[in-house]
Amino acid sequence: MGKNIVKNELPENYEELKKAANRTSNWKARYDAVEELGKYNTSQVIDILNSRLANDPVYKIQEAAYRILLEFGEDVQPPTRKKFEVIKGANKVFVRVKKSLPADHTFEEFATKLKRMRIDVYDAYEGEKGDDFKTWLQNEWSNLK
């Protein structure tokens, strides 16, 4: 893989990338935006990358922001993976969604309603758990009281 050429100017689609980097409902769009912004070493881009490093619920995105900031020569600390809740209060959200459904609801109904009610929570865990997401969510759901 060749080294990216870094430009010291803003990309033409900067506003679009800035929006995508902050889109809470789509971790893939945030990740792609961070990678694309990583080709432009400007103070505005560094601000966005620092924000993703400090605040993104998805570790993969924090990691990408950290790597790019290091390449830019910024003095940054590596992100630490959250051990328990990726999103604070997520378990309460899961309980609230489960209680809003009929007692005999299916896991698919739960997942659909969670996605509809709290796409930010659904998306953050999907990004964090990767291929294990559905299995993990089903396990969480079955353990809810």
Give whole-number Cα distances, 24 to 16, 81, 97, in Å: 14, 18, 19
DSSP class of 33: H
The pLDDT confidence band at residue 3, using thresholds 50, 70 and 90, is low
Query: Taking the domains of the chain in order of start, what are their residue ranges?
Result: 14-71, 90-143
Phi-psi region for residue 47, left (φ > 0), alpha (ψ -120 to 50) or beta?
alpha
Helices assigned H by DSSP within the chain? 14-21, 27-37, 43-55, 59-71, 90-99, 107-117, 119-129, 133-143
pLDDT single digits (tens) 73-116: 999 999 998 877 888 899 999 999 999 999 999 999 999 999 99
Model-wide pTM > 0.95: no
